[in-house]
Structure 1
Amino acid sequence: MMICFGSLKTEAASVYTVKSGDSLYKIGQTNGVPVHSIQSINQLKSDIIYPGQRLKMPSTISNSDKELLARLVSAEAKGEPYAGKVAVATVVLNRVDSSSFPNSVREVIYQVDQGHYAFTPVQNGAINKPADAASKKAVQEALAFRGQGPGSLYFYNPKTSTSKWILSKQVTVKIGNHVFAK
């Protein structure tokens, strides 16, 4: 199944008309926006929505940034469970939202700090390979739940990591071969 990134405009909020069978989760995942943002912008007090209801949709990251993030997820989480792919995408989004990191997906992914790349696929060129469908879907899910979860800012494979610094970070979750931390 081919998963394409939606046509949500990033310049301004758009409007979505609720269809039968929709839920805030489904709308958020399809459009790559956090559920709590949909609730907030529409002043919804619950998860109840109705067919025909018009919801303002918050802006999201650009399609090119979604594609870049999906390529990173594909390269970083190859062979990992789907939840690990979502968690890798979430780390990047958490960094964008953190004052300790750059303010855009592209800047976070391509960040070089003291001569070290933040992500190995940037250094070895794997970032330039096409993303698989599961990685694209994982990015959409990470966007839908942006701002929720344990707040992971880092991940590593304990079998291959040589950094003592990363081991000092608080572990938030372990998924597959990756340890996530903040």
Structure 2
Amino acid sequence: MKFAAHLLTATLLMATPALAQNPMTDAMDAEQKAMETVPQGRLAALLKTPEAVASDAVKVSYTRDWLAAQPAGAGGDQFQCLAEALYFEARGESVKGQFAVAEVILNRADSPDFPSSVCGVINQGTGRKYACQFTYTCDGRAETISEPRAYARVAKVASIMLAGAPRTLVDGATYYHTTHVNPSWSRRLNKTASIGVHQFYVSPTRTASN
């Protein structure tokens, strides 16, 4: 909220002449314009309700038994995008590994270096074969979910993460790859974690939002 207040103060100073005519209306317009410049992921974090903050303190147990006891995953477009990405990118991983991949996707959505929504992050570069960020979106093959039980598990992970579960596994990582490959770009990044068959990395110039 302090960040939002600073934005409001700055925009009010810029709008001083107009405020003399209609202070309340112009102040509200200035605040709205300032808030529109903040990435959606970052804005959501700044304006969290007490309930959302409390949800961050919920302890997640990265076990199949714990996940099985959670309610079925559900949600809108962002949920669907995240659940699908986890299915194609990490369905064979452990529960911990699936949560780790979800953290990377959400970290990207909160970073000014990437699109500001989950769907935007996942579909970045889609349409250009092998130029996308998530290979399954541009490998030329149809995204067919043929393992409903695996999808049900990752859908729960997607719901839990979007509900505000803590991100403590990958130390702000915004990149990852499997241990089966050794991409050249990974040598320019800082490794933060190794979980299952995935290695996780963050840019050396990591931003405060991560």
Q: Same fold (TM over 0.5)?
A: yes
State the match for 2:38 in structure 1.
Answer: none
Q: 2:197 aligns with which of 172, 177, 180?
A: 177
> Percent sequence identity over matched residues?
29
1:156 aligns with 2:182: no
Q: 1:121 aligns with which of 132, 136, 157?
A: 136
SS in 2 for 1:171: strand
Give the number of aligned pairs.
Answer: 133
Q: Is the 1:94–1:153 Cα contact (8 Å) retained in structure 2?
A: yes
**Cα separation, partners in 2 of 1:126 and 1:92, compared to 1, 3 Å:** farther
Deviations 1:59-79 (A, max 9, x none): xxx612201110110100131
**Cα separation, partners in 2 of 1:120 and 1:42, compared to 1, 3 Å:** closer
Q: 1:69 aligns with which of 49, 69, 82?
A: 82
Unpaired segments ≥5 residues, structure 2: 1-43, 59-74, 203-210
Q: Is the 2:91–2:154 Cα contact (8 Å) retained in structure 1?
A: no
Deviations 1:70-89 (A, max 9, x none): 01101001311111111111
Deviations 1:97-118 (A, max 9, x none): 00000111111111119x5110
Q: 2:112 aligns with which of 99, 102, 107?
A: 99
Q: 2:125 aligns with which of 95, 112, 121?
A: 112
Unpaired segments ≥5 residues, structure 1: 1-32, 48-61
Counterparts of 1:89 and 1:42, CA distance in 2: 19
Runs of 4+ in 1 over 6 A off after TM superposition: 40-43
- The structure with more strand, counted as a fraction of residues: 1
**Cα separation, partners in 2 of 1:127 and 1:70, compared to 1, 3 Å:** farther
Counterparts of 2:49 and 2:152, CA distance in 1: 25
Task: Answer 1 or 2: higher relative contact order, Cα 8 Å, separation at least 6.
Answer: 1
TM-score, length of structure 1 as denominator length: 0.61
CA RMSD between the two structures = 3.4
TM-score, length of structure 2 as denominator length: 0.53
